[in-house]
Amino acid sequence: MLCIRNYYLDRVLAPLVVNNAKRDQVRVALISDTHGVLDERIAELIRRCDAVVHAGDIGGSKVLQALKPRLGRVVAIKGNNDVAAKWPRDETQFLSGLEEHAYLDMPGGRLAVVHGDQFNPVRRRHEKLRQAFGDARAIVYGHSHRLTIDDNQIPWILNPGAAGRSRTYGGPSCLVLTATAATWKLETQRFQSALAHHR
């Protein structure tokens, strides 16, 4: 059985630690908008990362259980579709453990995580996110299902797109952030849509 508090979520997370020492470099998979289905290719990529961040619209605890990064650190927040009416009935008890936003302290700065649906109008969303989370080095959000990297200024605004099957706009996608104290680097991962993949 999935235990939310011990398994994946604290309001403000401690720095990533291995053998009681802070890591000099971490690789974090950034995903969002799975809506109950995690693409297996993204699940495999997550297994090669130290941690994973899910920016909401999870769709069920089975998605969270499928997230298995090397260090076991999973950060997940609530999206506008993470409500009892849209989750499997036998999994709704886990919703109470999801917060509206979270932070992950990493080498070189802090990563903020929020779903983004409350930051409107859309044309000013990035501006409003920067105002709300100005202490972060980067902000991960979801909701639009559109892969976006706005790194013109700090904090960066990152949307990994949809990591499931719903409205992927070109195929399931995610971002991988490699962070050191001096530099943060992003890799974009987009996979062929499942329909095209199985033809």
pTM, to two decimals: 0.88
Work out how many domains the chain is built from and give that number.
1
> The CATH number of the domain where 93 resides is what?
3.60.21.10
pLDDT of residue 127: 96
Q: Average of pLDDT values for 7-23?
A: 45
pLDDT confidence of 22, banded at 50, 70, 90? low
Residue type, 41: R
pLDDT confidence of 59, banded at 50, 70, 90? very high
Residue 198 lies in a domain: no
Residue 9 lies in a domain: no
pLDDT confidence of 196, banded at 50, 70, 90? low
CA torsion 126→129→135→136, rounded to 10°?
-70
Q: Which domain holds residue 105?
A: 25-191
Count how many Cα atoms sit within 13 Å of the Cα of residue 149 in the half-sphere of its side chain.
Answer: 12
Q: Let me know: does 75 contact 13? Beta carbons within 8 Å.
A: yes
Per residue in 68-122, pLDDT (tens digit) is 999 989 999 999 999 999 999 999 988 988 999 999 999 999 999 999 999 999 9
Per residue in 134-179, pLDDT (tens digit) is 999 999 999 999 999 999 999 999 999 999 988 888 899 999 999 9
Residue 199 lies in a domain: no
138-172: string of b/e by CB count within 10 Å (b at 16+)?
A: bbbbbbbbbbeebeeeebbbbbbbbbbbbebeebb
Give the count of beta carbons closer than 10 Å to the beta carbon of residue 3: 9
Q: Average of pLDDT values for 5-17?
A: 41
Residue 61 lies in a domain: yes
pLDDT of residue 195: 59
Lowest mean pLDDT among 20-24, 43-47, 153-157, 172-176: 20-24
Residue of 168 and 66 predicted with greater confidence = 66
Residue 154 lies in a domain: yes
CA torsion 39→107→152→171, rounded to 10°?
-10
pLDDT of residue 193: 82
Residue 3 lies in a domain: no
What's the chain's length in residues?
199
Cα separations in angstroms, 52 against 44, 46, 48, 198 = 12, 7, 10, 27
Position of tokens 């890591």? 23
Q: Let me know: does 41 contact 172? Beta carbons within 8 Å.
A: yes
Residue 5 lies in a domain: no
Residue 59 lies in a domain: yes
168: which 2 tokens? 């992927």
Residue 108: which of 57, 13, 22, 181 has the closest Cα?
181
